[in-house]
C-alpha cells in the first residue's frame, strides 16, 4: 500500500472516530437495562472495588512524595474517592451518573 493511501486511511480513521461518541445512548450501554444491571453488578462493581483498594495502597505508598508537595488531598481524591464514588454511590446499571447529586461520571466531573 502506498504511503499516500496509508496517510488518507489514517486521516479517515481519525475523522470518523469522534462520530461514535456522538452516537452513544446515555440510557443504556448494552441496549437492555437488565443486562446493564447484571454487567454492572458482576463486572464493573468488582473492578471498581479493586481500583479503590489499589488506589488506597498507591496513595499510602505515594505519601513520602505527596506530603512535601502538599498534594495529598488531590492524590487521595483521584486514587480513592473517585473510584469509591463510582463503585458505591451510583445507581445499579447506570454508568453515566455518580454521587449523591447524580453528576456525570468520568473526566467531565472535575
- Can you tell me the distance from the alpha carbon of 16 to that of 14, in angstroms, rounded to the nearest whole number? 6
Which H or E element spans position 4? helix 3-22
pLDDT at 110: 47
What pLDDT score does 25 carry?
A: 52
pLDDT tens digits for range 33-57: 889 999 999 999 999 999 999 999 9
Do β-strands 103-104 and 97-98 pair in parallel, antiparallel, or remain unpaired? Answer: antiparallel
CB atoms within 10 A of CB 104: 12
Per-residue pLDDT tens digits of the chain, which is 110 residues long: 677 777 777 776 666 665 555 555 556 777 788 899 999 999 999 999 999 999 999 999 999 999 999 999 999 999 999 999 999 999 898 888 887 788 887 654 44
What number of CA atoms fall less than 13 Å from residue 4's CA on the CB side? 0
Pairs from 31-36 (Cβ < 8 Å, separation ≥ 24): 33/93, 34/93, 36/93, 36/94, 36/95
Amino acid at each position: 500500500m502506498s504511503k499516500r493511501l496509508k496517510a488518507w486511511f489514517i486521516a479517515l480513521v481519525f475523522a470518523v472516530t469522534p462520530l461514535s461518541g456522538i452516537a452513544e445512548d446515555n440510557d443504556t450501554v448494552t441496549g437492555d437495562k437488565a443486562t446493564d444491571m447484571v454487567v454492572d453488578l458482576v463486572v464493573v462493581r468488582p473492578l471498581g472495588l479493586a481500583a479503590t483498594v489499589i488506589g488506597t495502597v498507591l496513595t499510602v505508598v505515594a505519601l513520602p512524595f505527596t506530603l512535601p508537595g502538599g498534594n495529598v488531598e488531590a492524590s487521595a481524591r483521584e486514587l480513592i474517592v473517585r473510584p469509591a464514588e463510582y463503585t458505591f454511590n451510583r445507581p445499579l446499571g447506570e454508568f453515566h451518573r455518580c454521587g449523591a447529586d447524580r453528576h456525570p461520571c468520568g473526566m467531565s466531573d472535575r
